[in-house]
Amino acid sequence: MNLFSILTKEDYLMIKWQIAIAGVGLLLSIGIFLGIDYLSGNSLQDLRIAQADFNSARSRLELIEEEEETIIEYIGRYQMLDADGVVSNEDRLQMFERVAEIRSANNLFPVNTNINRQLTMPINYPPEIRQPGEPIALQSSVIGIDLPLLHEDDLFRLLDGIINGPGLFQTSECSLRQLNRESTNFIVLSQHFDASCEILWYTFDLDPPPPDPFGF
């Protein structure tokens, strides 16, 4: 039997307040449930945002620690390169003066020195570095020297003075030619040989210009 079918209008009027209270309670329950669900969704979203911020901050902290370790590991080498002028622009006038000083100190014959146009090549960071630093370019120039020799040691002294002086150098090639094959008395002050060498002069550009977008 249906309960609502046996209730009369008077019965409904007698329990109208109870029905109203029950309806309000039901609405409040629904509202509380929806509010809790909304707050729960917002809390979960806030938790995800906070977790993402935490992970990002931890990643930045790890990166800072790695950079600090790298700086500590290589700061000594950088200071040495900086002291040798390897991370600064070429001073070509100083190079000519250095060759003249080596020649004078070793009583060498006149040395013909020329320095070719400087070439630039960008250096790529290793792929395992997560956050590469600023761009770096390797610059190189070819120093050409030609001189007559009393004997071979003259050439060795000149090269030693250049390569072991301030800077980063690498001998590319050398040729030595005996001028008088019949002469064996190298004690006599004369031009017994002539020599020509090419020396690579390296420097690093810590602020290279941006690459040409058209590749020229």
Higher pLDDT: 179 or 107? It is 107
Q: How far apart are CA 102 and CA 116, in angstroms?
A: 21
Q: Tens digits of per-residue pLDDT, 52-100?
A: 776 776 776 666 666 666 666 667 776 777 777 788 888 999 999 999 9
Q: Give the pLDDT band of residue 152 (cuts 50, 70, 90).
A: confident
- Contact indicator for 192, 186 with CB cutoff of 8 Å: yes
Question: Among 215, 61, 205, which Cα is nearest to 134's?
Answer: 205
pLDDT the model gives residue 73: 67
DSSP for residue 120: E
Q: How far apart are CA 102 and CA 162, in angstroms?
A: 8
- Contact indicator for 4, 15 with CB cutoff of 8 Å: no
Higher pLDDT: 126 or 2? It is 126
Q: What is the DSSP string of 2-65?
A: -HHHH--HHHHHHTHHHHHHHHHHHHHHHHHHHHHHHHHHHHHHHHHHHHHHHHHHHHHHHHHH
> Residue 89 is encoded by which pair of tokens?
């622009």
Distance set, CA 151 to CA 104, 106, 109, 113 (Å): 16, 12, 11, 19
Q: How far apart are CA 19 and CA 164, in angstroms?
A: 102
Lowest-pLDDT choice from 9-23, 138-152, 202-216: 9-23
pLDDT the model gives residue 173: 92
Q: How far apart are CA 93 and CA 204, in angstroms?
A: 18
